[in-house]
Structure 1
């Protein structure tokens, strides 16, 4: 996967049920604004709040509606569940699987490496590693990633650590492999691309796909300064829709831009008036930014 793709939000109706029509429309909305691939059932998709059958249905709907590659989130704490979800995603039309590090229990690097090798051995589609320590309290060391990159069915990684130094070390250790290295934080997209990244899986690409596409295009054209400038202009919005107001704030902001994002599922709660006002102000800044790209 190269370019930028959103961990696509999952539209739910006011009662918390999956809104299939809105999901199809959302695929069209982000595709029309320049994304390169789609990631259903990622962290911003509320995948952990869905049953396995619902996740499989989301992937099926996205794969059917998409005209770009689909990288489906399939990771669970255990190998059996991960392999079942990966097989279901492949059957639903996914092109590859994004497998988060096993969470809940603590695992050392040797255990994580063995786990990924076993998953990759059995997966019917290419596997992408996914390190997001803010949610799992676990991360993949660059040396572990370097060894896994040699596996013929390990195709790449999403690194959501936000640590550019670690990102560079991973790139150095995977430089000779056919290995896509994508960043998971929109706040450092320009820097990660300059460090050898091939793209990003970004919450920001749900709300500002035009901006993330422009950052990637600037980097590909060799204009790294422009890529860094655009990234810097998105830092506050990226922080607001991730660390500050989370998925409810992201979905609110998307709806404000006309995206069929639907509602967040309980226990998430809709943003309060002060959060909505802050997001509206940031969306005004985004409009100004997009007018110049």
Structure 2
């Protein structure tokens, strides 16, 4: 997959239950904004606060509503759960699986590589590696990425480290493979595209799908200066709805844009009014 993907927000009602109709509405919202593919059950989806069967239901709803490819987040700390989640995602209609690095316990590079090979061997759909050290404290090394790229069922990677140097090394080590390299940080989207990324999976695309997609379209047109300028204009909004205020901030921002993303699931809490006002100002600046 290439282009602009979105780790789709999961809407919950006030009691913390999945809101299926709102989820369908969000699929239509991001598609109308121009995203190229959708990623349910990623980090911005609150996937780690959902059970296996609930994640499968989310993927089923998204795949049924979407007109673009679906890459489902299926990773768990353990192999058995990851394999089961991946099977369920395939049955629900996902086109590919996004598998986060095993976390909680520490593992060396050889163990992580072996884990991914086993997942890719067993998965009925293509597997994308997922490195998000800010949440897992695990960073896939470029050398492991390069070796895994040769596996027939490893289709690519989402690198959410924000480290463009690592991304450039990953690109160099995978250049002879059919391997989609996707960046996971909206703050460096244009720079990552310049460095050889094929696209991105951006939390920002929940809030401003049309603007995130515009960065990629500028890049395709060879207008890299315009892509970088637009990216710079979106940095503060991206920071607010990811690293600064997280999922509650993203849901507040979407409400400011007139699309209901429901409530954050506990232990998350809705943002306070001063934060909501700050986000509203950033939305005004970033989405003219």
TM-score relative to the length of structure 2? 0.99
1:250 equivalent in structure 2: 250
Does structure 2 retain, via aligned residues, the 8 Å contact 1:10–1:261?
yes
CA distance in 2, matches of 1:177, 1:31: 30
> What is the SS of the residue equivalent to 1:38?
strand
2:125 equivalent in structure 1: 125
Q: Which stretches in structure 1 are left out of the alignment for 5+ residues?
A: 289-293
Does structure 2 retain, via aligned residues, the 8 Å contact 1:11–1:23?
yes
Matched, 1:182 2:170: no
2:21 equivalent in structure 1: 21
> What is the SS of the residue equivalent to 1:6?
strand
Give the C-alpha shift of residue 287 in structure 1. Answer: 2.3
1:140 equivalent in structure 2: 140
TM-score relative to the length of structure 1? 0.97
Give the C-alpha shift of residue 260 in structure 1. Answer: 2.5
Matched, 1:202 2:198: no
CA distance in 2, matches of 1:164, 1:47: 26
Does structure 2 retain, via aligned residues, the 8 Å contact 1:23–1:260?
no
Matched, 1:240 2:240: yes
> What is the SS of the residue equivalent to 1:80?
helix
- Deviation string for 1:222-249 (max 9, x for gaps)? 1111111111111000000111111001
Q: Which stretches in structure 2 are left out of the alignment for 5+ residues?
A: none
2:223 equivalent in structure 1: 223
- Correspondence 1:11-90 to 2 at 5 A: 11-90=11-90
CA distance in 2, matches of 1:19, 1:51: 15
2:282 equivalent in structure 1: 282
Does structure 2 retain, via aligned residues, the 8 Å contact 1:11–1:262?
yes
1:269 equivalent in structure 2: 269
Does structure 2 retain, via aligned residues, the 8 Å contact 1:63–1:93?
yes
- Deviation string for 1:22-64 (max 9, x for gaps)? 0011100110110000000000001111111110000000000
CA distance in 2, matches of 1:42, 1:54: 13
> What is the SS of the residue equivalent to 2:7?
coil
> What is the SS of the residue equivalent to 2:8?
coil
CA distance in 1, matches of 2:165, 2:51: 37
Matched, 1:193 2:193: yes
> What is the SS of the residue equivalent to 1:182?
strand
Does structure 1 retain, via aligned residues, the 8 Å contact 2:206–2:254?
yes
